[in-house]
Amino acid sequence: MALANTETLSDHDSAAAEHMLRNALAVKLRIVMLVFGTGAAAANVVTMADELCEKTQLPTGNLRHVVWVPKMMPAVSAILAPIVGPTVPRVAVLTMDGTLATTIPEGAPVDRIILEQAFVDGGL
Amino acid sequence: MTRLRTAAAVLLLLSATADSRAQNVFDFITLTANGRTLPPIAGHALEVDIDSAIAINWRTPQLLAAVAQREGVVPGDSPLLVRLQLLSTAVGAFIETQEKFIALRAISTALLAAQNANNQAEVARLTASFRTAVQEYSAVENRGLAPIGRFRTTDPQLYGALEAAIKDDAATVRVLQDYLRRASDELAQKLTADRALQVLVTANLVDSGGRTMPLHLDGYDAIGTGDPVPFARFQLQLDDRTVREFEAAKAFVPLVSNGAARIRASIAELQTALERLPDTLKSSDLAARLEKLATDLSATGRTDLQPLVNDIRQIIDAVTALRMLPALVQGGALADPMAIAQIAGRLTDAIRIVDTLANDVPARAQALATNLQTQLAQATPELRTAAKDTLDFVVSTLTQGPNLRALVDELRKIAAAVGLTGDVAQAADATSRQARDIAPGRSLDTSLDLATISGERHPGDIVNLTATVRRGAGGDLVTIFQGRQSIRIEKYGWYSETRGALLFVQPAGTLTRNVSFQPAPAIGYYWRYGAKNKPGLNHELALGIGATLTLLDFDDEHDMELGVAVGVTFLHDLFWAGAGRNLQAQKNYYYLGINPLALTGLFRR
């Protein structure tokens, strides 16, 4: 399934993953939802989050964006650990200013309403 | 004057709010004009364009919840009411979310244009606006998501439906509305299982002269409408209001010329009619007996009797208001137009008071007697008997119809004497209206299309909406909620209109005849400017600039003398001033004038 609003970071090339992440976080006026992990559960979260991005399409671009981090490569971790903390959650949402708005811990229930609430906590 | 107006206001208020604790029924109604919501402003009239279509939409779930709580049919913390409340909040929030997103999209479009034009200052300004709009959007959506979260455990089926729909705000609203409708229908079923629950909405147009015209609301009456006619910005022909004003001005000429003998005679007849009323009605005895009953019922400490006590107090106020009439109608000097116009204004109120007593109060007392006998089943026999005797006494006194009707006739005669028969009589005539039953799945909404009013409408006219929620049928009606909302209609920008007035014309030079401030009816053609949400400017200062035509009599050589003048009107369209020329007598003049109907309207509205 095509994920129109999602960027998936490389899980084997740390430099490439870092480059993609920096680019994703550099876009102004955008709320970013980071989804961590691999497997069906993570993929399902990414799919649902990507769908929720569709409702914020604007002429200046989409206000919501998803970054899937299947693996915390060293360079990626160097950027994200100071933001999300030592324990990697299932989901983390960054505000338009790049600060952490909310997280959903690994193992917690996740559905579209919970993800929508997370986006709104992030600003929209 | 003040006392009568106070009494009338008390009556109207009492009939408008059956219970002082009552919530304003317009809390449960959303008014929109041409798709724009009209947020109510307490104590102020709303404002709409003169050609608007006004939608009157009931927030039925909230209304039913309030009725249920008021009557104690369903406990306030019942799952059904909690669910209704949560769904209502969520629906409102997600509807607003869509509006916020439209605003956000508009800013985004402008921001993109500024970015493409490389206009940095504009980009900075719009970026700030964009961030604000995003915050507003998320605040509203948060309000909607909070109640939805509670359904996760209490209603998994609803939560599942919302989870599937949440990626689209419109779909979310549809799901919420569907479940809200089901909950609302369930509550409606409970509330109407034993006794009918009804709503009634009425609309009347009140013009600058205080004339009241009933307006059609689909489903609530059979009042006729006309084809849609947009308000004419440039009005040259004389409309009905102008003709009435001109006729009133003509009627005032003899009054200001030779005193008010006719009015005095009519008021003497009114006094006779008052004297023919039963002594019990004129004395304080009736009010005193009712007051004692109200006090005795209050002393029982039973809160369920309070609405009935309030009903009794309404009757007391009506009786008290009637006893004020003789002094109030006779008060004031009758030799000047101002006093005469004031009396005309009082007459409408007086007729309303008497009509209420003759037509409304007996039925209300009869219903009260029945209700009290039921509710006092457990009370002492003495209280039960006293209540019945008092209310029977009220009914027997007030149903001596001929006396009260004679009083109304005399009041109308006085109205005729000041040349204002039609509108005063119309104000007292009831128009048949029909309440709608609340039932599961039944809409209570209606609309008012100002363009189809089968009569004239003018900028500054007031549409009075009243709404009532009541129980029972026939004579056993109990009002639960009642309220009134005024809406002022406006024409924005420049427009013209014709008006009529009584001028006092003073020749500028010497004449062969002694003419001093000659009273003369006149027709005026005036230009006005309607500003948005500036009622003080539009209708209190009410500046109009234009021309007048009037028939004069400066000399004996000409059968017809036409005066043409330029001038202004100001202060509620009440005062006229200007200067002109008598074309036949070839003399200049200046004038001051009043619009008699505008004057009476001031006192009535």
pLDDT tens by residue, A4-21 = 999 999 999 999 999 999
Same domain flag for B324 and B406: yes
The segment with the largest mean pLDDT, out of A87-101, B257-271, B556-570, is A87-101
Tokens 């109200």 correspond to: B294
C-alpha separations of A6 from A12, A34, A54, A69 in Å: 18, 10, 11, 10
For residue B241, being part of any structural domain is answered with no
pTM greater than 0.80 (yes/no):
no
Q: How far apart are CA B338 and CA B418, in angstroms?
A: 12
Residue of chain A minimizing CA distance to B159: A113
What is the count of structural domains for chain B?
4
Q: How does the average pLDDT of chain A come out, rounded? A: 94
pLDDT reported for residue B424: 38
Q: Is the pLDDT of residue A31 over 50?
A: yes
The answer on B338 and B276 residing in a single domain is: yes
Could you tell me if residue A92 is inside a domain?
A: yes
Tell me what pLDDT residue B510 has.
81
Q: Are residues B443 and B355 in the same domain?
A: no
Binned at pLDDT 50, 70 and 90, residue B145 comes out as: very high
Q: Note the pLDDT tens digit of each residue in B44-96.
A: 899 999 999 999 999 999 999 999 988 887 776 788 888 998 999 999 999 99
pLDDT value of residue B334: 42
Q: What is the pLDDT of residue B8?
A: 40
Q: Which is higher by pLDDT, B50 or B296?
A: B50
Q: For residues B142 and B367, what is the distance between their CA atoms, to the nearest angstrom?
A: 49
Residue B236, in any domain of the structure: no
Q: Are strands A31-36 and A64-69 parallel, antiparallel or unpaired?
A: parallel
B334 and B395 assigned to the same domain: yes
Per-residue pLDDT at B19 exceeds 50: no
pLDDT in tens, B415-425: 555 544 444 33
User: Which positions 36-65 of A are in contact with B (Cβ < 8 Å)?
Assistant: 51-52, 54-55, 58-60, 63
Contact A96 B164 (CB under 8 A): no
- Nearest chain B residue to A64, by CA: B134
Work out the pLDDT band at B148, boundaries 50, 70, 90: very high
CB pairs under 8 A between A and B: 56
What number is the average pLDDT over the span B522-547? 92
Q: What is the mean pLDDT of the segment spanning B475-481?
A: 76
* Local confidence band at B352 (pLDDT 50, 70, 90 cut-offs): low
Same domain for B294 and B421? yes
Amino acid at B122: E
Does residue B414 sit in the same domain as residue B446?
no
Chain B, nearest residue to A109 by Cα:
B152
Q: Write out the E strands in B387-460.
A: 436-437, 446-449
pLDDT above 70 (res B278): no
Chain B residues lying within 8 Å of A55, measured CB to CB: 167-169
Considering the domain architecture, whether residues B466 and B449 belong to the same structural domain is answered as: yes
Residue B604 binned pLDDT confidence (cut-offs 50, 70, 90): low
CA-to-CA distance for B332 and B339, rounded, in angstroms?
A: 6
Overall number of domains in chain A: 1
Determine, yes or no, domain membership for B247. no
- What is the predicted pLDDT for the residue at B408? 61
Residue A55 lies in a domain: yes
End-to-end CA distance of chain A: 25
The CATH number linked to B219 is 2.60.40
Question: CA triplet B486, B488, B491: central angle to 5 degrees?
Answer: 165
Q: Do B163 and A60 touch (CB under 8 A)?
A: no
Q: Do B166 and A113 touch (CB under 8 A)?
A: yes
Let me know whether B300 and B421 are in one domain. yes
Percentage above 70 pLDDT, chain B: 74
Residue B43 has pLDDT above 50, yes or no: yes
Query: Would you list the DSSP string of chain A?
Result: ---TTEEEPPSS-HHHHHHHHHHHHH-SS-EEEEEE--HHHHHHHHHHHHHHHGGGEETTEESEEEEEESS--HHHHHHHHHHH-SS--SEEEE-TTS-EEEEE-TTS---HHHHHHHHHHTT-
Whether the per-residue pLDDT at B355 is higher than 70: the answer is: no
Task: Give the distance from CA A118 to its chain's centroid.
Answer: 11
Name the minimum distance, in Å, from the CA of B59 to any CA of chain A.
26
The pLDDT-based confidence of B523 (bands split at 50, 70, 90) is very high
| Antiparallel, parallel or unpaired: β A61-62 and B575-582 | unpaired
Which one has a higher pLDDT value, B298 or B119? B119
Q: Which of B303, B394, B308 is nearest to B357 (CA)?
A: B394
Q: What is the pLDDT of residue A41?
A: 94
pLDDT of residue B210: 75
Dist. CA B468–CA B199, nearest whole Å: 5
Pick the residue from chain A with its C-alpha nearest to B105: A58
Position with higher pLDDT, B472 vs B450: B450
Q: Does residue A22 lie in a domain region?
A: yes
Q: Is B105 within 8 Å of chain A by CB?
A: yes
In a domain, B230, yes or no: no
Helix H segments across B488-556? 535
pLDDT in the model for residue A105: 96
Whether A120 contacts chain B with CB within 8 A:
yes
Test A113 with B152 for CB contact under 8 angstroms.
yes
Domain boundaries, position A20: 6-121
Q: Which of B171, B191, B211 is the last residue of a domain?
A: B191
How far, in Å, CA of B602 to CA of B605, rounded? 6
* pLDDT band, residue B223 (cuts 50/70/90): confident
Average pLDDT over residues B177-203: 92
Inform me whether the pLDDT recorded for B426 exceeds 50. no
pLDDT at B471: 86
Does residue B256 surpass a pLDDT of 70? no
- With CA atoms as reference, report the closest residue to B97 among A72, A73, A55: A55
Highest mean pLDDT out of A88-97, B240-249, B317-326 = A88-97
**B211 or B45: which leads in pLDDT:** B45
Look at residue A32 in the predicted model and tell me its pLDDT. Answer: 96
Q: CB A59 to CB B135 under 8 A?
A: no
Predicted pLDDT of residue B558: 84
Contacting residues for B91 by C-beta, under 8 A, at least 6 apart: B173, B176, B177, B180
pLDDT confidence band for B472 (50 / 70 / 90): confident
Domain, as residue range, for B22: 1-72+196-223+434-490
Least confident range from A103-112, B230-239, B273-282, B448-457: namely B273-282
The C-alpha atoms of residue B546 and residue B242 are separated, in whole angstroms, by 15
CATH of the domain at A64: 3.40.30.10
Domain boundary among B490, B510, B535: B490
Q: Are B555 and B545 in contact (CB under 8 A)?
A: no
* pLDDT for residue B475: 57
Which of B430, B457, B481 is at the close of a domain? B430
Q: What is the chain A residue with the closest CA to B168? A: A55
CB atoms within 10 A of CB B93: 24
Specify whether B301 is located in the same domain as B200: no
Instruction: Answer yes or no: is A1 within a domain.
Output: no
Q: Please indicate, yes or no, whether residues B381 and B519 belong to a single structural domain of this protein.
A: no
Residue B425: predicted pLDDT:
38
Q: What is the pLDDT of residue B326?
A: 56
As a whole number, the mean pLDDT across chain B is 80
B165 and B93, same structural domain? yes
Average the pLDDT over each of A114-123, B290-299, B542-551 and give the range with the smallest value. Answer: B290-299
Chain A residues touching residue B167 (CB < 8 angstroms): 51-52, 54-55, 112, 116
Between chains, do A52 and B167 touch, taking CB under 8 Å as contact? yes
Task: Give the confidence band of B343 by pLDDT, cuts at 50, 70, 90.
Answer: low
**Does residue B107 sit in the same domain as residue B164?**
yes
